[in-house]
Amino acid sequence: MFMEVTVKQFVREFKQQFQSMYAYSYEEGSNEQLYNALGLLVKNYISSYWKETREKYIKNSVKQVYYFSMEFLPGRQLRSKAYNLGLLDVIKEGLSELDLSFDQLAEAEADPALGNGGLGRLASCFMDSLASLGMAGNGNGIRYQYGLFRQKFVDGYQVELPENWLRYRNVWETRNDKSTCMVRFGGNVWLEENHQGHLVPHYENTLNVLAVPYDTPMVGYRNDTVNNLRLWSAEIPVEEEANYHTIEETEPIKEITQVLYPDDSNYEGRLLRLKQEYFMVSAGVQSIIRHFRKYNVPRKNIPDKVAIHINDTHPALVVPELMRILIDEEHLSWEQAWEITFKTCSYTNHTILREALEKWPIDMMKELLPRIYMIIEEINNRFVENTMPLYGERITWQTAILQNGVVNMAHLAVIGSHSVNGVARLHTDILMNDVLKDFFELYPERFNNKTNGITQRRWVHLANPDLTQLIDDKIGENWKLTPSELKVFKGFEKDKKTLNKLTDVKLKNKKRLADHIKEVKGITVDPNALFDVQIKRLHAYKRQHLNLLHILHRYLEIKENPSVDYVPRVFIFGAKAAPSYHYAKQIIKVINSLADLVNNDPDVGDKLKIVFFENYGVSLAEKIIPAADISEQISLASMEASGTSNMKLMANGALTLATLDGANIEIRDFVGEDNLFVFGLSSKEVYELKANQSYRARELYGSDQKLRNVLDALTNGTIPNLQDEGYALFDSLVNFNDEYFVLKDFASYVEAQNKVDDLYKDQSEWARKSLLNIASSAPFSADYTIQRYADDIWKVRSCVVEDEG
């Protein structure tokens, strides 16, 4: 069931590997070199399983899933691959015989930031679960040369630096020159009838781009399965190289896969982004269809042999691209092609924010992708023709793909897919009742919920080895393969010894994080303080500024009454703001300036510390999450589609402090409302407040003295070293009526925070609730989420024979 390599064999092969790469002895290697050698050796160990898995899928002609996503955030891969292979202990032991530290080498790996946040990380958790369930799942995305920017703070302001993750090479990828595709942009297209009576498109003056795949093995958990993540890179076609005379002329091609767009929850109609989307989609669909040609599968069987998943609307051009290939290249009729396309495709929505919904200008689409646009127009025309007589004008025009000069990508995705899902129960309800309600009337059977999940392998087993050991000691190891077994851990909620051990584990993790804080921020924090964590992209709807107002409130109280009885707290933030998102950057600056004030005020001491980490990402999350006591999930109800840091923090024993938004609601249902802290407006109340337009932020400012003190502190010089950022926050909250109801939720947030303090004073009660959270986190295993996608949407099954091992 998993790799047999002895320590002795490993040591010999590692030395050999290093020497063959660098031509000197490993003793002289740098961490990067040692890591590279180790990574390549591990990849060697993987390769036979990788090959055999592919061959098995082909031989059994199993249905394959292709997960199309503009983003993947895999995190560092050495540890998780070695773990899933069952080699981690052997490697650690072997390295220590050579006086090398695995942890140190593992840190030398670059963390590929090929995504913005939740959506990209979800895609990577799904890749891990697909392989671990033994399902034929492929990832399809872009090999950005530069990932999401590296964040630095200069004088408290966010500064963005390029993230050159490929600098020291990427040992996990294999460039696959045998499987390149050509992607065409622009030019003129016209249709001509050929001698068989088919309308065939003719192209002239197109820009031809070579799509080169780089494949990365996705290793399943001890089941011999190794799937493929395929990331495409744009290059000049070899046969056209002579047409390019200067470096500048090659730019338009190279720039396609140069850098990830750093916007999350915000759509901008940039031409280059549309190029990226079509590039990835076209290359991916071409390579799927090529497979069918090679193995001569009847085209009408495509939906039985492949499922294409559209991760948010970013890859929605899959729909017209598949139509194009089936019609223009496979010569199917429109009706045949459509039947195949919509049975093959399924779509997940990840946001209800209007400003995040993709709408491309028709003129842009027409010019960049003339043939694709013709097909979209035809899809739209047929949709309108069919819908009008049944549902009438209003619904038809509101659901059309082409509206007011733009292509509505969500509408294209819904019309072209047999399944549409949201990512938490509340979110799916909102899609059905609000955002996509007209579609729900047209196609109720397409809608379904798939609550997000996380892989416990990375986020618990590997990130929190001491907790994992404790659970193993108490309930055995079954929970690792069958997460639902975790509920057995509930049986220890009253066991003092277990609770003490759990407290010890948390304290140890907090000490480790405290050391890291000292090292990278120079701030001394007390590991016994309560560690309060908010880690996620910076966005007004996520309300990091509500957190900020509460901290400021505590600070003012401490200043007024230095003996006030607050439990010592460390407020921990990690968040990148989109470079063009001015307001989000202002929030960062205010938090950083408040941190300077608070952390250096002798009146405050250990009562309050603020740590805003730079460059939040997967690797930092792995350090922070095991050390968290409180998980801040404080988005305005209805705005956060699901959230996934909420699940990771819960699984590591943090107690959730939350609004009833996204998956927080399901967390409450599983853990029970006594075991988390809920506050704030419900989504129903938010909808009502918006509908009756009765909210007056200024009145709250006028009537609530505490709140007024806090808001005034933004502008009266309390916080040092600000330009106009304090005023900007004040303005948005008081004068522009507080779009995200921060002031409205402030009082109940403060009250909930006080309850947090009270509970923390009773350490064994705290530990009991923490244990119940851990024991209730199994339903958020991505393995279960993927099983539901597989059963309900993709119709695929595990290829691992149960009795094999």
Residues making contact with ligand 26Q (CB under 6 A) = 116-119, 122, 261, 263-265, 267-268, 273, 314, 350-351, 356, 358, 423, 452, 640-644, 662
Determine the Cα–Cα distance for residues 525 and 531; give it in Å rounded to an integer: 10
367: Cα separation from own chain's centroid: 32
Minimum distance, C-beta of residue 621 to ligand 26Q, in the bound complex (Å): 14
Determine the Cα–Cα distance for residues 50 and 44; give it in Å rounded to an integer: 10
| C-beta closer to ligand 26Q: residue 185 or 267 | 267
Minimum distance, C-beta of residue 789 to ligand 26Q, in the bound complex (Å): 13
Q: How many CB atoms lie within 10 A of CB 190?
A: 13
Task: Considering the candidates 63, 305, 309, 648, report the single residue annotated as catalytic.
Answer: 648
CA dihedral over 136, 142, 144, 145, signed as positive or negative: positive
Determine the Cα–Cα distance for residues 268 and 13; give it in Å rounded to an integer: 50
| C-beta closer to ligand 26Q: residue 450 or 589 | 450
Minimum distance, C-beta of residue 264 to ligand 26Q, in the bound complex (Å): 4
Minimum distance, C-beta of residue 699 to ligand 26Q, in the bound complex (Å): 31
The residue nearest ligand 26Q at its CB is 118
Q: What's the count of helices (H) and strands (E) in the chain, helices before strands?
A: 32, 23
List the one residue out of 457, 479, 500, 452 whose CA is nearest residue 771.
500
225 catalytically annotated: no
672: left (phi over 0), alpha (psi -120 to 50) or beta: left
Strand order across the beta sheet in which 677-678 lies: 608-613, 569-574, 530-535, 630-633, 655-658, 677-678
536 catalytically annotated: yes
Determine the Cα–Cα distance for residues 324 and 330; give it in Å rounded to an integer: 9
487 catalytically annotated: no
503 catalytically annotated: no
Task: Considering the candidates 350, 411, 427, 457, report the single residue annotated as catalytic.
Answer: 350
648 catalytically annotated: yes
Determine the Cα–Cα distance for residues 286 and 761; give it in Å rounded to an integer: 61
Minimum distance, C-beta of residue 378 to ligand 26Q, in the bound complex (Å): 25
Answer for the pair 133, 483: CB distance below 8 angstroms, yes or no: no
First to last CA, the chain: 6
Task: Considering the candidates 396, 644, 715, 785, report the single residue annotated as catalytic.
Answer: 644
List the one residue out of 466, 460, 531, 493 whose CA is nearest residue 767.
493
DSSP 3-state of 721: coil
Determine the Cα–Cα distance for residues 106 and 502; give it in Å rounded to an integer: 27
| C-beta closer to ligand 26Q: residue 282 or 645 | 645
DSSP 3-state of 129: helix
List the one residue out of 279, 283, 231, 215 whose CA is nearest residue 253.
279
Task: Considering the candidates 275, 542, 744, 769, report the single residue annotated as catalytic.
Answer: 542
Minimum distance, C-beta of residue 15 to ligand 26Q, in the bound complex (Å): 43
Task: Considering the candidates 324, 537, 543, 550, report the single residue annotated as catalytic.
Answer: 537
| C-beta closer to ligand 26Q: residue 662 or 680 | 662
List the one residue out of 332, 425, 404 whose CA is nearest residue 375.
332
Answer for the pair 159, 189: CB distance below 8 angstroms, yes or no: no
| C-beta closer to ligand 26Q: residue 359 or 480 | 359
Minimum distance, C-beta of residue 663 to ligand 26Q, in the bound complex (Å): 7
511 catalytically annotated: no
| C-beta closer to ligand 26Q: residue 91 or 119 | 119
Minimum distance, C-beta of residue 661 to ligand 26Q, in the bound complex (Å): 9
| DSSP structural state of residue 804 | G
| C-beta closer to ligand 26Q: residue 640 or 666 | 640
Active site residues: 350, 536-537, 542, 644, 648
